């Protein structure tokens, strides 16, 4: 027999949640084959089997929290796949069932027919067990899984509270129910990722003296430069597109060098001034916002930055980010403009000192001088910062530096 254990994840991660079992009891598995997906605070991790054989036991159900090093499955090394009926019996077996009372055995016999009809339904062991114990027909359960896999929470959600007959209800209760009908709601457990996001954002809000300062940027010159150079840029760099993120990332690096406190963090009574420029770029996924990190942005050119951002965004949306992709950023950029945001106050990421928010580019009338007005493509930018570390003068100066470099992209190229 071989044990499948939760692998070491990262120094700060001690547990995960079973997201999806790819294999069930009785299924054969090859060496190196993924058998389960774990959801951690930062990324999803697929766990493989170190041996070829047959799954004989799953020690945790989907939705369960498991610690690093704990055993979550047993593989019979060299075994062959069992018949469907044998696998079904193993799926629905549990240690506590061996000590069932005579009454429980009789109850199980009553639901035997329902169990046989549900064998053709794809469901997790915990879902089958819960359905059997509560007399629920799996054929009546709707699954939210695109593959039709029924999980334990699907069964629980399908279970309605027992209702009283009209004769049993008091007249007052009937009248109250009719006049104040219960409003429809959907209750869903937050994913581990969403719980972590909520916890971290609340921690930042409670543990920092966060302020936000704003400025606006005339995007005319950088848009004209991009328009002139984008085709040649893409041709010279193997299809990499020239976007605005590389301009803002380079501007951020220059501003961080000018205002080093913005690239700092507090550790107890110490202030850590970072001498590296690993810039986190917020990426939206179905499960929430993640912030992969582009390393050494001071040493990368525009094409390398654009390529890194694209690769990380693809990995994020495909749930392929590694823990290394997420760790150690010194500053973060978030672009709400891609969703149409005109202005916002972004929340600082983790222990960092500040975050830059980009927004929509909108054509607005701008005073060129005392006599002239022109329509210009304008963007509001925001810097949320920890006032314990950064003074208002530094925050305003940092944002002003970003504005000046974006409005004069030739100077930005010189800074690079």
**∠ at Cα 267 (255, 397), nearest 5°?**
20
C-alpha 139/C-alpha 153 separation (Å) is 15
**Which of these is catalytic: 231, 236, 324, 391?**
391
Distance CA 143, CA 157 (A): 10
- 391 as an active site residue: the answer is yes
- Token representation of residue 324: 């290394």
Assigned token pair, 242 = 């020239």
> Is 386 known to be catalytic?
no
* Angle, alpha carbons 164-167-169 (nearest 5°): 55
DSSP conformation class of 307: H
Sign of the Cα torsion 298, 304, 309, 313 reads negative
Strand ranges, E, within 292-389: 293-294, 331-335, 354-358, 361-367, 373-386
Assess contact for 388 and 394: CB atoms under 8 A: no
Pull the structure tokens for residue 300.
Answer: 């990368």
Q: How far apart are the first and last CA of the chain?
A: 58
Q: How far apart are CA 401 and CA 252, in angstroms?
A: 9
CA distance 150 to 143: 5
Q: Using only the alpha carbons of the chain, give its radius of gyration.
A: 28
Active-site residue (options: 27, 145, 387, 411): 387
CA-CA distances (angstroms) from residue 35 to 5, 50, 234, 387?
11, 10, 40, 47
The CA distances from residue 234 to 228, 250, 304, 306, 313, in Å, are 12, 19, 12, 11, 18
Could you tell me the two tokens for 91? 């799926």
Question: Is residue 278 within 8 Å of residue 297, measured between CB atoms?
Answer: yes
Task: Report which of 303, 362, 313, 304 is spatially closest to residue 333, judged by C-alpha positions.
Answer: 313
Q: Which residues are catalytic?
A: 387, 391
């Amino acid at each position: 027999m071989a044990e499948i254990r939760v692998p070491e994840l990262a120094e700060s991660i001690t547990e995960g949640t079973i997201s999806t079992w790819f294999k069930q009891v009785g299924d054969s598995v090859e060496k190196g084959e993924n058998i389960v997906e774990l959801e951690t605070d930062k990324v999803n991790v697929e766990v493989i089997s170190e041996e070829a054989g047959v799954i004989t036991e799953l020690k945790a159900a989907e939705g369960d929290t498991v610690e690093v090093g704990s055993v979550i499955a047993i593989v019979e090394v060299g075994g062959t796949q069992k018949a469907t009926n044998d696998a079904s019996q193993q799926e629905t077996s549990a240690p506590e069932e061996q000590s069932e009372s005579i009454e429980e055995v009789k109850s199980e016999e009553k639901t035997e027919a329902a169990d046989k009809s549900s064998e053709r339904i794809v469901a997790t062991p915990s879902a089958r067990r819960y359905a059997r114990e509560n007399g629920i027909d799996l054929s009546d359960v709707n699954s939210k899984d695109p593959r039709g896999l029924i999980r334990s929470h699907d069964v629980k959600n399908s279970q309605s509270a027992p209702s009283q007959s009209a004769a049993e209800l008091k007249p007052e209760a009937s009248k109250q129910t009719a006049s104040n009908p219960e409003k429809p709601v959907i209750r869903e457990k937050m994913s581990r990722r969403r719980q972590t996001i909520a916890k971290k954002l609340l921690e930042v809000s409670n543990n920092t003296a966060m302020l936000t300062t704003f400025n606006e940027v005339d995007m005319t010159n950088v848009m004209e430069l991009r328009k002139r150079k984008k085709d040649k840029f893409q041709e010279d760099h193997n299809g990499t597109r020239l976007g605005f993120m590389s301009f803002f990332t380079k501007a951020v690096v220059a501003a961080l060098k000018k205002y080093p406190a913005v690239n700092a963090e507090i550790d107890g009574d110490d202030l850590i001034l970072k001498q590296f420029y690993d810039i986190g770029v917020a990426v939206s996924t179905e499960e929430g916002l993640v912030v992969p990190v582009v390393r050494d942005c001071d040493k990368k050119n525009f094409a390398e930055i654009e390529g890194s951002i694209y690769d990380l965004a693809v990995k994020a949306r495909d749930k392929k980010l590694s823990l290394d992709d997420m760790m150690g950023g010194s500053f973060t950029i978030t672009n709400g403009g891609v969703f149409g945001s005109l202005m916002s106050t972004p929340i600082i990421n983790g222990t960092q000192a500040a975050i830059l928010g980009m927004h929509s580019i909108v054509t607005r009338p701008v005073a060129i001088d005392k006599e002239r007005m022109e329509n210009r493509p304008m963007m509001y930018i925001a810097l949320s910062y920890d006032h314990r570390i950064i003074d208002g003068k530094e925050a305003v100066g940092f944002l002003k530096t970003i504005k000046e470099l974006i409005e004069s992209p030739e100077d930005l190229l010189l800074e690079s």
